[in-house]
Amino acid sequence: MNIIKCDSQNFDLQVLQAKEPVLVDFNATWCGPCKMLKPVLEELAAESDAYKIVAVDVDEAPELAERYQVVSIPCMVRIKDGVETGRQVGFLTKDVIAAFLEG
Active site residues: 31, 34
Q: Which residues have a Cβ under 8 Å from the Cβ of 80 and sit 6 or more positions away?
A: 21, 22, 103
Positive or negative: CA dihedral 8, 13, 42, 79: positive
